[in-house]
Every structure is written in structure tokens, then in C-alpha cells.
Amino acid sequence: QVQLVESGGGLVQAGGSLRLSCAASGGTFSRSVMGWFRQAPGKEREFVAAISWSGGRTDSIESVKGRFTISRDNAKNTVYLQMNSLKPEDTAVYYCAARNRYSFARGSYEYDSWGQGTQVTVSS
């Protein structure tokens, strides 16, 4: 089972940027579709973005397109989420997840491994 650890969260002013990192160990990271999810207080966990095994394809929700970029470095066993032009509504705990299949998916139940989460707070 792959172990995932997120980092890079924090407090940032609206319009600012953060880069989240997810370090993987104990599994075949390069053979996993990697995703980012977020959960705001009182809301369900929401899919944000995913990236293919090679990094050649990505998927993301419309509300973050043009602002967030997902990437991966298989040599470092790490996936990133670069978040620019942050808005208060982006405030949430962000989770890294791994899916042990080739195809993309947006449902939480379709991912196999999860990190502990990292808090992102965007002030207005």
C-alpha cells in the first residue's frame, strides 16, 4: 500500500499562491493516477484535479481551471498542486490520493490510498 504525505498548506491572502506537495512511499507511484481532493467545513469531499501515470494528461474541475496546475515528478515520487489566484472559497483541507488503475476518476471511492490532509486557508 502506497503511503502519502501532503505538505505545503498554510494561510495566504486572497490572490496569493501556494504549492502543495504529496510525497509517496511504499508503492508503485509511477503506476498510479494521482489526485487532489478538498473538503471545506460542513461540505463533502470534492475532487479537484488528477494526473495520469506519465503526467501527460490532467483533469480538473472548472472552478480551478486557469488557476491550479497539477504536476508530478516520478523520479522524486512526488505530485504537486500549484495554486494561484487563490480565493476564500478555496479554503479547505486538501488531500492527496492514489488510484491503482490507468483511467481517471473523480469519485473519492475510486481512489485506493489517501494522505492525512493539509490545511489551506485563504483570507479575504
Q: What is the DSSP string of 94-113?
A: EEEEEESSSS----GGG--E
Q: Which pLDDT tens digit goes with each residue over 20-67?
A: 999 999 877 778 899 999 999 999 999 999 999 888 899 999 999 999
User: How far apart are the C-alpha atoms of 4 and 80, rounded to whole Å?
Assistant: 12
Residues facing residue 3 across a β-bridge: 25
Q: What percent of the chain has pLDDT over 70?
A: 100
What residues have CB less than 8 Å from 62, skipping those under 6 apart?
none
Q: Tell me, what DSSP letter sits at residue 29?
A: G
Q: What percent of the chain has pLDDT over 90?
A: 86
Q: Which of 46, 113, 37, 101 is nearest to 70 (CA)?
A: 37
Whether the CB-CB separation of 38 and 45 falls below 8 Å is answered with: yes
